[in-house]
A and B are shown apart, each in its own frame.
Chain A
Amino acid sequence: MPSPHIQAVHLRKQYGKVLAVSDVSFSVERGQCFGLLGPNGAGKTTTIEMMEGVIAPDSGQVLFMNQPLTRSLQHKIGIQFQNTSLQDFLTVRECLGLFASLYAHHRSIDELICLCALEDFLDRDNRKLSGGQRQRLLLALALINDPELVFLDEPTTGLDPQARRNLWSLVGEIKSEGKSIILTTHYMEEAYVLCDQIAIMDKGSIIAQGEPKNLLREYFEGQYIEIPEEDLLGQPPSDFGFSYHKKNNNFEFHVPDVKTALSMFVQKDICLNRMTVRSASLEDLFLHLTGRELRE
């Protein structure tokens, strides 16, 4: 079995009376993309910052290639913080130059400009970038020392869907360069698309962990069928014999087999014009595990 690239061992962090992270353990293999998933305040950022060596855990430790963290780690990792800013009045090109000279070795800046698609705003003041441009610059800065391990803390929060998809393909390219990635997100879809392994966090603990597909298979069988309430033509939803819950004005039925369910609906003679069928998602998994919606 290959040794893990980085490993969290029983991490715990308390801020005053608030237990931000309690007993979190996981390991990330080399070249893997690992996702920490959960709602705001679940302890994702605290966990990732303990792994970066930015904050010290109250107990537990982080092992990088089986060794405790040291200051020299800074040369091997790249970090994209969630809340950060750069010095005022510096252009994108100058920011890249500044950070490049902070490391003993750095990657070619032209290559990074191309990878992160920064060409169009190289001479713009970094404070005048759009959300997506800014995230791409921060990502380029995280990659400037050609790190073997990259931390991305909510890289797509606040971006519009198109910018988010751009960033996803960028993360895909970083992955294809063989770098290990640890990212946090509260978008389940993002974790599903990008991550090889995920850990779902809630209230400071990991409540489920594994490959996204396996996790879904483990917790869910069957499909979801959603039908507007009025299309049931007055029949109570419990009559169909499936588990269900109400979502806005729709009923969502969890069905083991679509074909049997459809023949049941046909037999009850309800309107199926606006019916949708979908597979279980990580959102459903979170709801299933915690009884709460991910974003409330």
Chain B
Amino acid sequence: MKRFFALLVARNKEFIRDRGSLAWSLLFPFLIVIGFSFAFSGRQQDIFKVAVEKQASIAPGSKNPLSDFLATQYIQFIDIQDLQPALDKLKRHQFDMVVSLSEWPRYWVNSSSPKGYLLEKILSGQQASSGVVREQVSGREIRYVDWLLAGLLGMNVMFGSLFGVGYVIVRYRKAGVLRRIKATPVTAFEFLAAQVTSRLMLMLVMSVIVLLGCHWLLDVQMVGSYADLFVALLIGALCMISLALVVAARISSEEFAGGVLNLLTWPMMLFSGVWFSLEGTNPVLQKIAQISPLTHLVDASRAIMTEGASLMDVSSHLLILVALSVVFMATSSWLFQWE
């Protein structure tokens, strides 16, 4: 334990004193978030989205008080089965209005949505609609930047873990640091555990700083619980670090390690739903994305941040991350060589 802590402290000192990479790993996520929030700040969806629940109990041919409204152009009407998820989306401004065509037709609008207000005006301008009951929800809009932040946190964890552990161990091996430590009573497990712990601590601190910074700079929303988010990020970081240990198990060339790490990180960064939702993309791509640990990390933390999901709600993602971590850890301890 004494050996573990000594190595842990040494690694932390090394990281904190390396001002260049410290500054970079702090600035990078901010720059991206700020850049994207500017790039997309003027974007307006030019179509109204209305969710429509049709109940089978309505007799065909009976008078539908909303039929004129449902024929309005430039409004996208989306059929839904369940009311509750649609109302959740309405709260987050992903739908502009929800209508239910039961025997007592109702509609919901979000009190803080300008589009909802306009839709309501269109609806009330039609005489047939006078008997429709109005209901109201409230909730802030989930902007692109709110949605993006979960992806960026995940991506930051991925880069920080893979390069921060994988590349550093390869550098240690090449420079002879590992050889020197091998000649002491330190075991491979103690050494690696110290590297992993050091990086986990740093990743969490970094994530807090990025989250606080984005909250302060861009008023980013957090719907779910911070504790849940950190559990998800911790499990994600553990998985990424384990993957890094597999990469660093034997390689002693920094160039080769850099190539392998880029080969792993770039596809994950592009196709794990960091920047855009994978819904509606090629089904093959969606299947492949399920292999990527980053997909699960981003999906879990995004559900927590933008939908208020609990750990139970995202447990399938977390279990996959834990399972991958176990596989990666076992592989790396089997492959690992000091030199």
Query: Which A residues lie at the B interface, using CB under 8 A?
Result: 52, 54, 71, 74-75, 79, 81, 83-90, 94, 97-99, 101-104, 141, 145
Closest Cβ neighbor of B338 among chain A residues: A54
B5 partner residues in chain A, CB cutoff 8 A: 101
Closest Cβ neighbor of A95 among chain B residues: B10
Given the interface pairs A88-B14, A101-B3, A102-B6, the reply to whether A54 lies near B179 with Cβ below 8 Å is yes
Alpha-carbon distance A230/B165, docked complex (angstroms): 67
Q: At the interface, yes or no: B185 with Cβ under 8 Å from chain A?
A: yes
14 extra interface residue pairs, beta carbon distance < 8 Å, beyond A94-B10, A98-B6: A74-B183, A84-B179, A86-B177, A87-B11, A88-B18, A89-B14, A89-B17, A90-B10, A90-B13, A98-B9, A98-B10, A101-B2, A101-B5, A141-B180
Q: At the interface, yes or no: B319 with Cβ under 8 Å from chain A?
A: no
Alpha-carbon distance A97/B176, docked complex (angstroms): 19
B18 partner residues in chain A, CB cutoff 8 A: 88-89
Q: Are B180 and A86 in contact (CB under 8 A)?
A: yes
B6 partner residues in chain A, CB cutoff 8 A: 97-98, 101-102
Closest Cβ neighbor of B174 among chain A residues: A85
Q: Are B176 and A99 in contact (CB under 8 A)?
A: no
Alpha-carbon distance A66/B147, docked complex (angstroms): 68
Q: Are B176 and A85 in contact (CB under 8 A)?
A: yes
Q: Are B180 and A98 in contact (CB under 8 A)?
A: no
A54 partner residues in chain B, CB cutoff 8 A: 179, 182-183
Q: Are B179 and A81 in contact (CB under 8 A)?
A: yes
Q: Are A103 and B184 in contact (CB under 8 A)?
A: yes
**Of A81, A94, A101, A102, which one neighbours B176 at CB under 8 angstroms?**
A81
A90 partner residues in chain B, CB cutoff 8 A: 10, 13-14
B13 partner residues in chain A, CB cutoff 8 A: 89-90, 94
Q: Are B14 and A84 in contact (CB under 8 A)?
A: no
Alpha-carbon distance A262/B179, docked complex (angstroms): 56
Q: At the interface, yes or no: B7 with Cβ under 8 Å from chain A?
A: yes
Alpha-carbon distance A78/B302, docked complex (angstroms): 52
Shortest distance from the beta carbon of A88 to any chain B beta carbon, whole Å: 5
A-B contact pairs, 27 of them (CB 8 A): A54-B183, A71-B185, A79-B183, A81-B176, A81-B180, A83-B176, A84-B175, A84-B177, A85-B177, A86-B177, A86-B180, A87-B10, A87-B14, A87-B172, A89-B17, A94-B13, A98-B10, A99-B184, A101-B5, A102-B3, A102-B7, A102-B181, A102-B184, A102-B185, A103-B184, A141-B180, A145-B184
Chain A interface main SS type: loop
Query: Which residues 3-30 of B have a CB within 8 angstroms of A?
Result: 3, 5-7, 9-11, 13-14, 17-18
Shortest distance from the beta carbon of A140 to any chain B beta carbon, whole Å: 13
Q: At the interface, yes or no: B186 with Cβ under 8 Å from chain A?
A: yes
Q: Are A74 and B177 in contact (CB under 8 A)?
A: no
Shortest distance from the beta carbon of B289 to any chain A beta carbon, whole Å: 37
Alpha-carbon distance A102/B8, docked complex (angstroms): 12
Closest Cβ neighbor of A89 among chain B residues: B17
B176 partner residues in chain A, CB cutoff 8 A: 81, 83-85
Query: Which residues 176-224 of B have a CB within 8 angstroms of A?
Result: 176-177, 179-186
Closest Cβ neighbor of B5 among chain A residues: A101
Shortest distance from the beta carbon of B179 to any chain A beta carbon, whole Å: 6
Closest Cβ neighbor of A55 among chain B residues: B339
Bitwise, B220-244 to A at CB < 8 A (1) or not (0) is: 0000000000000000000000000
Shortest distance from the beta carbon of B4 to any chain A beta carbon, whole Å: 10
Q: Are A85 and B10 in contact (CB under 8 A)?
A: no
**Of A75, A85, A89, which one neighbours B175 at CB under 8 angstroms?**
A85
A141 partner residues in chain B, CB cutoff 8 A: 180
Q: Are B186 and A102 in contact (CB under 8 A)?
A: yes
Alpha-carbon distance A97/B18, docked complex (angstroms): 20
Alpha-carbon distance A54/B172, docked complex (angstroms): 17
Shortest distance from the beta carbon of B21 to any chain A beta carbon, whole Å: 11
Q: Are A103 and B183 in contact (CB under 8 A)?
A: no
B2 partner residues in chain A, CB cutoff 8 A: 101
Q: Are B177 and A87 in contact (CB under 8 A)?
A: yes
Alpha-carbon distance A74/B338, docked complex (angstroms): 15
Closest Cβ neighbor of A78 among chain B residues: B183
Closest Cβ neighbor of A54 among chain B residues: B183
A74 partner residues in chain B, CB cutoff 8 A: 183-185
Shortest distance from the beta carbon of A289 to any chain B beta carbon, whole Å: 32
Shortest distance from the beta carbon of B241 to any chain A beta carbon, whole Å: 18
Q: Are B177 and A52 in contact (CB under 8 A)?
A: no
Bitwise, B82-99 to A at CB < 8 A (1) or not (0) is: 000000000000000000
A89 partner residues in chain B, CB cutoff 8 A: 13-14, 17-18
Q: Are A103 and B185 in contact (CB under 8 A)?
A: yes
A102 partner residues in chain B, CB cutoff 8 A: 3, 6-7, 181, 184-186
B180 partner residues in chain A, CB cutoff 8 A: 81, 84-86, 141
B11 partner residues in chain A, CB cutoff 8 A: 87
Alpha-carbon distance A172/B184, docked complex (angstroms): 24
Bitwise, B261-285 to A at CB < 8 A (1) or not (0) is: 0000000000000000000000000
B182 partner residues in chain A, CB cutoff 8 A: 54
Alpha-carbon distance A71/B17, docked complex (angstroms): 34
A81 partner residues in chain B, CB cutoff 8 A: 176, 179-180, 183
A52 partner residues in chain B, CB cutoff 8 A: 183
Alpha-carbon distance A71/B188, docked complex (angstroms): 13
Alpha-carbon distance A54/B184, docked complex (angstroms): 11
Shortest distance from the beta carbon of A58 to any chain B beta carbon, whole Å: 17
Shortest distance from the beta carbon of B173 to any chain A beta carbon, whole Å: 11
A87 partner residues in chain B, CB cutoff 8 A: 10-11, 14, 172, 177
B183 partner residues in chain A, CB cutoff 8 A: 52, 54, 74, 79, 81
Closest Cβ neighbor of A72 among chain B residues: B185
Closest Cβ neighbor of B191 among chain A residues: A102
Alpha-carbon distance A230/B161, docked complex (angstroms): 71
